[in-house]
Amino acid sequence: MSDRIYDVIIVGGGPAGLTAAIYTAREKLDTLILDKMFCGGWPNMTGVIENYPGFPEGINGMELSAKFKEQALKFGAEIREFEEVKGIIPGKIFEVKTPQGVYQARSLIVAPGSRMRELGIPGERELLGKGVSYCATCDGPLYRDKEVAVIGGGNAALEEALFLTKFASRVHLIHRRDKFRGEKFVVGELEKTGKVNFVMESLPVSINGENAVESVIVKNKVTETEESIDIKGVFIFVGVEPNTEFLRGVMDMDEGGFILTDEAMSTSTPGIFTAGDVRAGNVRQIVAACGEGTVAALSVRNLLVEY
């Protein structure tokens, strides 16, 4: 363990974590970001982002992430990628454990983000990477002129389905309700393409295929009849789960594992703040994550005035 004590360690390099780092580093606080992958978070897997302020023509997700990272580095933040935090020991000085070592800090901002929730149906895990995907931006181009299915009804599902219409010959959008939870604007854009088959009030029962996806079985909730849809790919967007396993017992969470905070982004453990997808009540939008990262950073600044 190094003798160096950071002013703040930020766990997670997505929009919330990088924004927080921009603020803390600009305040001349000794700032370290630890990310289990490479910085950027969900935007790295998004093609065009059209609702982030300042980019009326839209911006590529990876490009936006790169700008966040560049700005944090400009102000002096230290970034260590591919270094996953495995545990935190609270105290006057916090200890943050990774496979590479133990780091110390006077305060923490935890913003490790979330992961896609699984359906838990037969064929999902067995055919992962063989037609089953959780990232249309990553795998969409592989399905040029082929039929695919998208499962979900929120903004992520709608936006990824729209992206897939650029490649697939037909997109079967499967949703368990009679109305979508996502933006009406995107639904309208999907309708305009003429390439989307809306399979409403239906649940996926199984994903089938020997060595690759061949079909999906869906059950209509109203008629209780089952239908087999021939496809080559299935893209699943049915919600997220927080990456907070390493934080259990360290701070208060809700039943879903999302972290409970006050308006200052303070957790139940003094000196630890949070922001982004892992915070209970977050709307899971990039601009919201950035706002929460800002609040967390300013809370850290106010805390460290005492030192």
Q: Within 13 Å and on the Cβ side, how many CA atoms surround 77?
A: 31
Q: Is 139 a catalytic residue?
A: yes
Residue in 138, 252, 254, 262 annotated catalytic = 138
Which amino acid is located at 208 in the chain?
N
Question: Which pLDDT score, from 0 to 100, does residue 307 have?
Answer: 61
For 27-80, the DSSP string reads TT--EEEEESS-TT-GGGG-SEE-SSTT-TT-EEHHHHHHHHHHHHHHTT-EEE
Closest by CA to 215, choosing from 157, 158, 149, is 149
Give the separation between CA 236 and CA 182, rounded to whole angstroms: 15
Domains in the chain with CATH codes? 5-115+240-304 (3.50.50.60), 118-236 (3.50.50.60)
Question: Which tokens is 64 given?
Answer: 């936006």
CA 6, distance to chain mean position in Å, is 27
Tokens of 217: 């079985």
> Which of 62, 67, 52, 84 lies closest to 19, judged by CA?
67
Task: State the pLDDT at residue 49.
Answer: 81
What's residue 76's pLDDT? 97
Catalytic residue among 35, 139, 277, 290: 139
- Looking at residue 306, its pLDDT comes to 67
Helix (H/G/I), strand (E/B), else coil: 102:
strand
Sheet strand arrangement including 215-220 = 202-208, 215-220, 226-230
The bridge status of strand 240-242 relative to strand 94-98 is: unpaired
Which of these, 53, 21, 49, lies nearest to 34 by C-alpha position? Answer: 21
Mean pLDDT by 10 residues, the chain (307 residues): 91 97 97 94 78 90 93 97 96 95 97 90 92 85 94 91 95 95 92 96 95 95 95 92 93 94 96 95 88 97 85
Predicted pLDDT at 129: 84
Annotated catalytic residue 138? yes
Instruction: Show the tokens assigned to 77.
Output: 């933040």
- For residue 11, the model assigns a pLDDT of 98
